[in-house]
Amino acid sequence: MVYVCEFEFWTSPDGNVIAEPLSVDREGTFGDDLPDAVASAADWLSMFVDDYLMKGAELPEMSFGNEPRHGGRVIAVAVSRELGDIPAMTAADAARELGVTRGRITQLCDEGKLESWKDGARRMVSRASVESRKCDVSRV
């Protein structure tokens, strides 16, 4: 599915190009120049959408025709995302990667410490959340 969000792009005093989403109350991103900031906004939107897809939640409704708030320009950024686009592994594979039991993986998912969703009867765990936990062994 294609998701679209308007961002305002403007140059900060330090020379970075700021990309602020206009439909949601969240901090945005930035880039070295406008093309870099647009690419960064697309990555931001992909991660934003992925978060909702993993939770099985409905995304907030996006508004269009927004006016700039910081004197910049408004550009619509679009991404195509599906749940299957998110790099993931099964709970069993996550358990092997982290050196814990499948029960511990279920516990970490239920506590929100690993990003996961159900694919039929299988629990899928985002590869990014497993890699993040591997970086901090004390959090396993």
Here the tokens at position 65 are 């025709």
Structural domains of the chain sorted by starting position, each given as residue range(s) with its CATH number in brackets: 2-83 (3.30.160.250), 87-139 (1.10.10)
Distance CA 84, CA 61 (A): 22
Coil/strand/helix, residue 131? helix
Q: What is the pLDDT of residues 26-62, one digit of tens each?
A: 999 999 999 999 999 999 999 999 999 999 999 999 9
Q: What is the pLDDT of residues 79-135, one digit of tens each?
A: 999 999 999 999 999 999 999 999 999 999 999 899 999 988 999 999 999 999 988
Distance CA 127, CA 132 (A): 9
Which ranges of 26-90 does DSSP label H, i.e. alpha helix? 34-55
Cα 52 to Cα 33, 58, 77, 102, distances in angstroms: 29, 7, 18, 24
pTM of the full predicted structure? 0.84
Polymer length of the chain: 140
Here the tokens at position 132 are 């993040």
